[in-house]
Structure formats: C-alpha cells, structure tokens
Structure 1
Amino acid sequence: MQNRTPRIPQQPAPNHRAETDAMLTAELAAVVTGARRRALRDGDRQIDTAHLLHSLIESDREVRTAFGGGPQPARVLGYLVQRSIGYGLRWQGSVENSGTGAVVKGAPDAEAVVEAEGWSPAAASAMAGAHRRARLRGQDRAGGLDLLAALAADPECRAVEVLERAGVDAALLADRIVEASGRE
C-alpha cells in the first residue's frame, strides 16, 4: 500500500524497516505508523515520544485502560491535539533528547530496536525499552503497554511532559503497568 501522506520538501522520511514491524504486535505496528504519519503532517523531522503517546492513546484500548479510568486519557489527548495549534510549537525543529542516549545500530540491543535515523533519541530508546519489556515477559513482540511503560519511565521525554500537564503522574502510571505485568 502506498503512503498517501503528502511529503514535505527537503524532509527525510522517518526511517522504518520491515524488520522493526516483525518485532511489534499488529497493534503497536499501527501505532508506529500513526506516529510516523503524525510527524510528517506536523512537519517534524523525527518521530518523538509525544507522537508515539498520541497514537498509542488513540488506537490502543488496553493503553487507555492502563490510566485507571476517568478523564485522564481524554485530557492527555487534548494536550496532544493542541500540539500543532500552539502547545508544542516550541518543539518544532528541535530534536527530543531526554538524556536516555540515542539507540545506535550495533548496540547490544540493535536487533531489537529501530535505527535512530527518523526517530528522536528518546523515542528510539522507548522502542528499545518496549522490546526489552516484551522479552522479559517471554514475548517476541512488543505491545502498546510495553511502549507506554517505557515512555512513562523517562521523566525527561516529551510524552512525560504531556502526561504531567494533563495531571497524570507518569511514574505512578509506569509503576502500575509494571505491577500489572509482574515485570519491569
């Protein structure tokens, strides 16, 4: 299927390999596709953690349930929707680097992560963390809750900034997901 999202001139397409899809559940592969489409539409050069969070909440019921009910997912989506009309504009043209370090091809988990090109270092690190969580559960493929836990565990990423502005305690959310799965 051909991508129908218009390309922005002089903007490289976010890198996404077929092997990466093989490491994700169908639901999480759809999340990544949605995040990539959102990044292109917003004029961002890279998929960042806020793109991933937005796509996760929109498309994964299990992720919405992890918030424990109530209006929190709707409030988070409200902030994320405002990204292109004001909130988050300061992020445009900048690279998200939460200090987690870029995931580099050839690193110990290279077979389990996306290449850093086309992804913010924090987003690539979150994807690697999601895959590590899946492996700890004995699964070959990462799912939405794996990614949400990885995002919420990085206190310096854009996704956590959005969560906290919406009144979500990101550390508590990450802990709740870990407790429910019985694994870090």
Structure 2
Amino acid sequence: MQSRTPQDAETGPNRTELDTRLSPELASVLAGARRRAVRDGDRQVDTAHLLHSLMESDPEVRSTLDSGDQVARLLGYLVQRSIGYGLQWQGTVEDSGAVPLVRSAKETALSPAAATALDVALARAGARGEPQARGVDLLAGLVGDPECRAVEVLGRAGADARAVLARIDAGFEEFDLQG
C-alpha cells in the first residue's frame, strides 16, 4: 500500500509540475474540488470533493457506473454532503494528522487519501505511456482505497467500488488493444 502522507513541495511534485502531469480536464477537476473544500469550510480537499468534481465534469467517469439512475443517486448524495446534510464527517479532516487551516483554494492541501489517489492516477497514466493523467485515472485511485470517503459515498449511493475499478481496468485494456 502506498504512503498516505500528503504531498508538499519537499516530498512530492510541486504545484507547477503537478499541473503539467494532469490533463486540462483533470486540472479543472482538482481546482473545482479545492473551491468546493473552501466553500464547505473543510480544512482539506478530501476524496469526496474529488469524486464530486469528477462526477460533475467528466462523462467518461460517469460511464463507469451501472446506470443513469446510479449516477443521479450519487450526484444527489454528493450535493447533500456538500450542503452538510446528514453526514457526521462534514468539516473534518479525512485520514489525517495536523494540517494548516484553509486560507484559499490555492492553499488548500489534499487529504492523505486524496494525495494517494492522485499519485495512483499519475502512475496509471505513466504505465500506459501517457504524459498526463485523466479523470478515470483519478477515479481508479479513489475506488482503489476502500477506506476513503469517496468509496463510502459510492457505497451509500449503491455503487460497488470494486465493480467500478473492474470497468475502468477493462476499458483501458480495450483501449490498449485498439491503440
């Protein structure tokens, strides 16, 4: 299992380097998740913030779910979460140690689980020989961690994280055979 230590300028890629390794769409997802965390008053961007941004903006990510009904349930659940309805972990830090307080979207740190998911996304893209990670790479990183909030949210919406990962992997195998 990979380290769950959040990346910073000393231990991981800096923000400029990271921006070049993400597709424009995935960079937009990360920016949206940062804005959502600030708006929600959360101290870190967690995996549920990332999942929410992915689901809103990436049709390829939405296609990994079983049905349109499942997508609708998941988006509804994520909206409830973002307005603070019914979840005990709103405003808390995911899988964390001490972190600085949020000052702006640009300064918002990733939770350890979110940083790990981003690392997985970059590694998956690299394994395919692609210079930039895509949304489905990040989704694979999220669903690969059964302890993260994104997987909890998926489960509450009736989605099986292992099945989502299997669909992602099958899609990449098909892409590799055609490419």
> TM-score normalised by the shorter chain: which range applies?
0.7 to 0.9
What's the CA shift string for 1:24-74, capped at 9, x where partnerless? 000000100100000000000100000000000000111111214321111
Who is 2:127 aligned against? 136
Structure number with higher relative contact order (C-alpha < 8 Å, ≥ 6 residues apart): 2
State the one-letter code of the partner of 2:47: T
Q: How many residue pairs end up in the alignment?
A: 151
Alignment gaps of 5+ in structure 1: 1-13, 99-116
- 1:125 and 2:116 matched: yes
2:147 to 146, 156, 177: 156
Which residues in structure 2 correspond to 1:10-159 (within 5 Å)?
17-83=15-81, 84-88=83-87, 90-97=88-95, 118-159=109-150
State the one-letter code of the partner of 2:52: H
TM-score (norm 1): 0.77
TM-score (norm 2): 0.79
Alignment gaps of 5+ in structure 2: 1-7, 97-107
Q: Cα distance, 1:18 vs. partner?
A: 2.2
Identity of aligned residues (%): 58
Who is 2:3 aligned against? none
CA distance in structure 2 between the aligned counterparts of 1:77 and 1:93, rounded to whole angstroms: 19
Who is 1:113 aligned against? none
